[in-house]
Amino acid sequence: MDRGRLCRSHCPLLKLKTDHMATVLIVEDEESIRRFAAVNLTARGYAVIEADNARDGLDMLRDRLPELVLLDMRMPGMDGFDLLEAKAQDPDIADIPVIVLTASMGAADAVEEEYTGVVAVLHKPISASELIEAVATTLATD
Amino acid sequence: MGLRRMVRNLAGQGNKAPTFERIIDQYKVSKAIAMAQTPDQVVEAMLSSPYLRAVSRASVLIFDKPWSETPPQAFVMLADWNRDKTQPSSTGERYLLEEYDLLDLCGRDEPVIIEDVRKDKRLGQQLRSTLVARQTHGLVLHPLSARGDWFGMLTVHFSDAVHPDALLHIAGLVGQVAVAIYTPLLIEVEAEAREEAEESEELKMKLLATISHELRTPLTSIKGFVTTLLADDVEWDPVSQRDFLETIDQETDKLTELVEQLLDLSRLEAGTLRVTPGRHNVRDIVATAMPQLEVLAANHQLHLRVPDGLPSVSADRRRIAQVLTNLVSNAAKYSPRGTNIVVAFARQDNHVRVDVSDEGPGIKAEERSQIFVPFRQGSRAASSGAGLGLAISRGIVQAHEGKLWIEDRDGPGTTLSFTLPTLETED
């Protein structure tokens, strides 16, 4: 999925983490939004794994232990809240940081206080730079 | 005839001044009525007076709406007190006014006093025998009014002759009984109305949240890929660039379609979804929809079955093409690639019937009725689409005086059908 060629001189954030490629799990049911996040993160040197539903996302979280999760809240069946609930119960993955993506006003506002590990809430629509910055900031301080 | 005069006639003597004991008693009973919490307790409190010992039964009837110019249709027995507790209570029973000839007797201002039910000519034969069977000798019917509404009746049955003291007592208390009964009823009605308003407000907010979410989803892809292309720290290769632009293009189309669907939905709910039916051959309608049908069913085997000699239908060609497109789009969305989608036309009485069938897993019985509710998708929901198409399609077909329904059977396979009225003469 390495579609982009990186201009390293223009990417100060990347210099922070040349030693190790962090893995980011994207859990999002909308194919095009998942792809948007994936191409941008891949182009900046992150390893990306994807799930189009929360159940698979939880399995990948346990199996692959990524450094960060990008989580959509509203998904059919098991949703983002359910995933956060299950994650909090499992000490192996409870501390993995989560950036929440939400298109709903209100519903996810308190999610940062309610669930440990939620480090940021991004309200859709978001730009590529907002996404990259949130990811880079989280992984830099982690 | 005024109450005072009636009482005077009944007693066969001059004006009877209230005694001190009666005033004391009325005060006590008033207090008990004020403390009562249910209609039964109100009636019981009133009858606790020693002046009303001869009362064998008392009931409160509430009209289904206050009696103004037009009489109400029905009434409910709100309370039915019997001194003999072995007698059946009719509390909660609903009666039609016309089957209860007792109410023909009453007016809104004056009570009706029947001294002896066996002799009074105003009573019908059936009612008389019912009353006699329940040991009623005398009967008093009092209108119940509060806040200007005549909302019901108080009926008081006596096992003995009606005593004027008892009449005065009832007349003195009936206003308070009316208020004690009516106020909680009004509060209940108001509470219900408020709850309803709150519920509809909540529904509106939910709907807005859903719409906002549905609009943000394609917007997120558009903004996401535009800013991806604009980012100056990455040089995307031409293949990626094209891919991003194509996604932006598709998501823009989705957004446009969603906006159109929302407009249709609001027209539908406002009752302003207009169709302009004209005389059309079924093949013309299919031809209108065909370019889109081919795109939608590109990964499926689409079979169109249009028999010869179908009569013309009365249809808005563009709108019916929209219905066809929507049904085929659903069929394609919810059935595996490469399977068959059949669109079959047939004559059925004075309609043309269209069946759109797929070979997907089908829809569970409990979810079938939900598929026509806007924004509601079944558990099989794919992530695309807001769940508006079927609600709109049904509205369009109904505007043509046709029907749209889902065949009531378990999967595999789903069939959605609709009918369109044919025009009298054949082409």
- Please answer whether residues A142 and B240 qualify as being in contact, where contact means their C-beta atoms are separated by less than 8 angstroms: no
Tally of domains in chain A: 1
Predicted pLDDT of residue A3:
44
Check whether B4 has a pLDDT greater than 60.
Answer: no
Contact A125 B230 (CB under 8 A): no
CATH number (3.20.20.80, 3.40.1710.10, 3.30.450.40, 2.60.40.10) of B3-191 reads 3.30.450.40
| Confidence band for B339, pLDDT divided at 50, 70 and 90 | very high
Predicted pLDDT of residue A15:
47
Interatomic CA distance for residues B322 and B64, integer angstroms: 46
Check whether B370 has a pLDDT greater than 90.
Answer: no
Predicted pLDDT of residue A28:
95
| Confidence band for A10, pLDDT divided at 50, 70 and 90 | very low
Q: What's the mean pLDDT when you consider all of chain B? A: 86
pLDDT digits (tens, 9 = 90+) for B275-287: 888 999 999 999 9
Taking the domains of chain B in order of start, what are their residue ranges?
3-191, 204-270, 278-421
Check whether B349 has a pLDDT greater than 80.
Answer: yes
Selection from B59-68, B160-169, B335-344 with the highest mean pLDDT: B335-344
| Residue A101 falls inside a structural domain | yes
Give the β-pairing of B404-406 and B414-421.
antiparallel
Contact A37 B224 (CB under 8 A): yes
Q: Which chain B residues have any C-beta within 8 angstroms of a chain A C-beta?
A: 209, 212-213, 216-217, 219-225, 227-228, 230-237, 239-240, 243-244, 247, 250-251, 377, 379, 381, 383
CB contact set of A138 (below 8 Å; sequence gap of 6+): A68, A97, A99, A119, A120
Predicted pLDDT of residue B227:
97
Chain B nearest C-alpha distance from A102 (Å): 9
Structural domain including A133 reads: 8-141
Predicted pLDDT of residue B65:
86
- Please answer whether residues A38 and A46 qualify as being in contact, where contact means their C-beta atoms are separated by less than 8 angstroms: no
Provide the CATH number for the domain formed by B204-270 in this structure: 1.10.287.130
What b-and-e string marks burial along B130-149, b requiring 16 or more CB atoms within 10 Å of the CB? ebeebebbbbbbbbbbbeeb
Predicted pLDDT of residue B367:
82
CATH number of the domain bearing residue A89 = 3.40.50.2300
Give the pair of three-digit tokens for residue A33. Answer: 């939004």
Chain A nearest C-alpha distance from B297 (Å): 20
Closest partner CB to A128 (pick from B219, B231, B235) = B231
Q: What's the mean pLDDT when you consider all of chain A? A: 85
| Confidence band for A135, pLDDT divided at 50, 70 and 90 | very high
| Residue A2 falls inside a structural domain | no
CATH topology classification for B278-421? Heat Shock Protein 90 (3.30.565)
pTM: 0.60
Predicted pLDDT of residue A107:
61
Write down the ipTM of this complex.
0.84
Q: What is the mean pLDDT of residues A37-44?
A: 96
Question: Do you find a cis peptide bond into B412, omega within 30 degrees of 0?
Answer: yes
Q: Which chain A residues have any C-beta within 8 angstroms of a chain B C-beta?
A: 3-7, 10-11, 29-33, 35-37, 39-40, 43-44, 52, 74, 76-77, 103-107, 124-129, 131-132
